[in-house]
Amino acid sequence: MELVVQFQVLNQSCYCLAWKPHPFVAWGGESQHVVAGYSDGTMRIFSISRTEMEMKMHPHAVALMAVTYSADGEMILSGGKDGLVAISSPRTGMTIRVLTDHKGFPITVLQCTRKQYHDFGVEGNELWLATSADRRVSVWASDWLKDKCELLDWLSFPAPASSEGSSSLPPSLAAFCPWEPGTLVYVGFGLQKEALFYSLHKKQVVKKISLPYFATSLSLSPAACFMAVGFGERLLRLLRCLDSDAQDYAGHDDSVHLCRFAPSGRRLLTASHSAVLVWEFRG
């Protein structure tokens, strides 16, 4: 539990970051990379093993709100406060494509997963989704090396009229479900406080799980049928999705704005205003 590496960028706020996927490489086996997105629209790639910044890119004119590597690590997807999604090459630093489908509302989530085209009858070697603050989710099939990107589905979730701006409403969050292929989970401001399971095959919501409040963070375990949901009421809920069994945990000093399962599924990291908590699963 000690600080190993620290990178500092002066006069900029870092709003998002992502690890380059290296699922089976031991620490130190090869370079470990992190990409971070900043308030001036730039991205920076840092090498952890060499403790240096390797590349700076400027794919956006406004602040970056979400960033992720493609499933194979060959591309970086970034989403801006203006709703634009850029696809950039970490090898050349060039932006190869800009998608405007979510224009006008901040991107809240970008996520990629490995899928073959025959799963949905479209060409590509991975699926990815983008979520924006206006409760819209787009799902895409892509093969970046062949310059292919096809819209697979477009979801728009209703909500009651609100005089508050989108920035003051609970965030719109979505994630692919690891244990149910072809399914994604969505939480956000809506008609009900609930988590929705949407089937990309059936093109419909196939399951709903009630929540005590509107969610502020979401993470799905890659190892078991568990979902962690954080709330603005300083509460963390762990849901066993097979039977909707729920367990609530206190201990945060403010809104639980981040929760993230470790790749093994054995630990969960949560964060609030001034505290980072690490939870361990046993059994």
- Residue 161, amino acid: A
The answer to whether residues 252 and 261 touch, using CB atoms and an 8 Å cutoff, is no
CA distances from 145 to 72, 75, 110, 197 (A): 11, 9, 19, 31
pTM: 0.92
Tell me the average pLDDT across 177-189. Answer: 94
Both tokens of residue 45?
């790639």
- Residue 8, amino acid: Q
| Mean pLDDT estimate for the chain | 92
Three-state SS string over 71-104 comes to CCCCCEEEEECCCCEEEECCCCCCEEEEECCCCC
Secondary structure of residue 168 in the 3-state scheme:
helix
Percent of the chain with pLDDT over 70: 94
How does pLDDT run across 75-123, given as a tens digit for each residue? 999 999 999 999 999 999 999 999 999 999 999 999 999 876 667 877 7
DSSP 167-222: GGSPPPEEEE-TTSTTEEEEE-SSSSSEEEEEETTTTEEEEEEE-SS-EEEEEE-S
SS3 content of the chain, % helix, strand, coil (to 5): 5, 45, 50
How does pLDDT run across 202-254, given as a tens digit for each residue? 999 999 999 999 999 999 999 999 999 999 999 999 999 988 899 999 989 99
pLDDT at 28 exceeding the cut of 70: no
